[in-house]
Chain A
Amino acid sequence: MSVREQYSVAIIEPSRIVSEGLSAILHDSDFRVVRQFETVDDFNQWEAALPEEKRVDIVLLNPVLLGTHPSQPLNGLFPDACSSLVAMLYSYIPPELLLEFDATIGIDDAPTTIIEKLRDAVATAAKRLDCQNIDKQELTKREKEILAYVVKGLTNKEIGEKLCISIHTVISHRKNIVHKTGIKTVSGLLMYALFNDIVTADEIPQE
């Protein structure tokens, strides 16, 4: 028997008949329904307790559960951008409410169509992840400049004055530096700067 990669799916749907039906349709596919929820809150509670690597690949959600407010930020509900979000429709939902979903499936879709759509949704999420990884690449020249000042112990205000930029801009650069390097503490950033030859050891004030 060959080993096949399986994608995990969570269903958030108030109707038990619909979620059981979907689970049955997906049973023999490469999608595995790990859990069914009746409300978004239940799902969020469950997901919050999971370690990152255990999060589901696909969240199938009936958009009715989000209410009718179009500005409701879905990304806030599903902070994990690695998962695909798929809408499950069996009544009319205004298209502006579906913008944040990676795909939609309808109650009339054939099982093969559903599976195809889910595959597409997984591919969309994978692309999104690639974009995030690109974001994570090397620091820009400006960011390196700012990092050098940070590890030399300058305040945001002093850095802003040196480079003739606002404190606001300095803070935003610093956020990007933390995001790109994954390093949060100033002493960690100092080590990073040394390893990457952004500063040399003798430029750093010794305590």
Chain B
Amino acid sequence: MMRRQLFNENSQLADLLLANIKLMHILPRFKIDVGVGESTVKQVCEERNISIPLFLMVCKVYSLENYTISQATVDSIPVDQLLGYLHNSHTDYIENRVPSVTNSIIDITRSSYSSHFKAFLQKYKEDTDNHFAYEEEVLFPYINALLKGEKTERYNIKEFQANHTNIQESLNDLKNLLIKYAPREVDFEKKRKAISELFLLEEDLNKHHVIEDEILVALVSAIEKGLR
């Protein structure tokens, strides 16, 4: 288990990555590259105008089991930067992660079933795109308007909470099917790649949901109530 103390602004960014390689996935969403030498979290964030509490919070969500986010942490996070991070995450899923997983799966599916598998994956891609598009086109503009002080009666964060669909269900079915029925004649390496990527993507999406459901919702409710 990772030590909580590691997630500190004076820690070296490299040490965080050495402790949890899954943090590689969040770097591009903050426009951080690897190869930053001995720089600390503070240095890296300040150079790029990234909110340090936001960066550390995301690192902790991705690294610590049962991490409960304190009210003080929530209060310290700038909403605009959080939105930027979530937007970059969506782009990353749509442009990189989801296509990469679906391509690996197409790579291993039997030719006779491949059109159906393709149909399944196509549907999955569409569901994912719609899921993110809803947030990008309905939720985020609403929050941006709210930040500018514009109030609307037509939408609020509770509606988002109620409609936040679970796109992990199909991922879970895919995992289940591939582990049980992946064709024997296909090279094991290809199967290993596809199934591992699938697990990583699912885990990543779960964390992404934690950030949206717990942090974003709390921040936006506070703004709605006029507390921020």
A residues with a Cβ closer than 8 A to B are 49-51, 54, 181-185, 187-188, 190-192, 194-195, 201, 204, 206-207
The residues of A that contact B112 with a CB separation of less than 8 Å are 201
Closest 3 CB pairs of A and B: A188-B173, A195-B181, A187-B120
A195 CA / B116 CA spacing, docked (Å): 11
A120 smallest CB distance to B (angstroms): 31
Chain B interface residue bracket vs A = 20 to 34
Q: Which residue of B lies closest to A189 (CB)?
A: B173
Which has the most chain A C-beta neighbours within 10 Å: B173, B174, B176? B173
Q: In the complex, what's the smallest C-beta–C-beta distance from B90 to chain A, in angstroms?
A: 22
Give complex CA distance A148, B170 in Å. 19
Contacting residues, chain B, for A194 (C-beta < 8 A): 113, 116
Contact with A along B105-132 (1 / 0, CB 8 A): 0000000110111011001100000000
CA distance A153 to B177 in the complex (A): 20
CB atoms of A191 and B116 under 8 A apart:
yes
B169 within 8 A of A: yes
Identify the B interface with A (CB < 8 A): 65-66, 68, 112-113, 115-117, 119-120, 123-124, 169-170, 172-174, 176-177, 180-181
Q: How far apart are A71's CB and chain B's nearest CB, in angstroms?
A: 32
- Asked if A185 and B170 sit within 8 Å, CB to CB, the answer is yes
The one of B68, B116, B173 in contact with A185, judged by C-beta atoms closer than 8 angstroms, is: B173
Assembly CA distance A185 to B174 (angstroms): 10
A sample of 20 inter-chain contacts (CB < 8 A) reads A49-B66, A50-B66, A51-B65, A183-B173, A183-B176, A183-B177, A184-B172, A184-B173, A187-B120, A187-B123, A187-B173, A188-B170, A190-B120, A191-B117, A191-B120, A191-B181, A192-B181, A194-B113, A195-B177, A206-B115
Give Cα A190 to B65, complex, Å. 35
A50 to B115, CA, bound (A): 39
- Smallest Cβ distance from A78 to chain B, in angstroms? 19
Query: Closest CB-CB distance, B22 to chain A, in whole Å?
Result: 16
- Shortest distance from the beta carbon of B149 to any chain A beta carbon, whole Å: 36
A184 to B166, CA, bound (A): 12
Docked complex Cα distance between A204 and B177 (Å): 18
Q: Is the CB of A201 within 8 A of B120?
A: no
| Alpha-carbon distance A185/B68, docked complex (angstroms) | 31
Q: What is the minimal beta-carbon distance from B57 to any residue of chain A, in angstroms?
A: 17
A49 to B67, CA, bound (A): 10
Known: A191-B117, A191-B181. 15 other contacts (CB 8 A): A49-B66, A49-B68, A183-B176, A183-B177, A184-B169, A188-B170, A188-B177, A190-B116, A190-B120, A191-B113, A191-B177, A192-B177, A192-B181, A195-B113, A201-B115
Interface centre among A50, A51, A54, A195 (most CB of B within 10 A): A195
Q: Contacts A188-B176, A188-B177; is A207 near B113 (CB within 8 Å)?
A: no
Q: Provide the bound-state CA to CA distance between A206 and B122, in Å.
A: 13
* Closest A residue by C-beta to B176: A182
* A contact residues around B120 at 8 Å (CB): 187-188, 190-191
C-alpha gap A193/B125 in the complex (Å): 21
**Cα distance, A37 to B226, chains bound together (Å):** 37
Closest A residue to B113 by beta carbon equals A194
User: Smallest distance from the beta carbon of B83 to chain A beta carbons, Å?
Assistant: 26
- Which residues from B are CB-within-8-Å of A184? 169, 172-173
Enumerate chain A residues within 8 angstroms of B65, measured Cβ to Cβ. 51, 54
Expressed in whole angstroms, the Cα–Cα distance for A187 and B169 within the complex equals 11
Chain A residue contacts of B117, Cβ below 8 A: 191
User: Which residues of B lie under 8 Å from residue A181 when comparing CB positions?
Assistant: 176
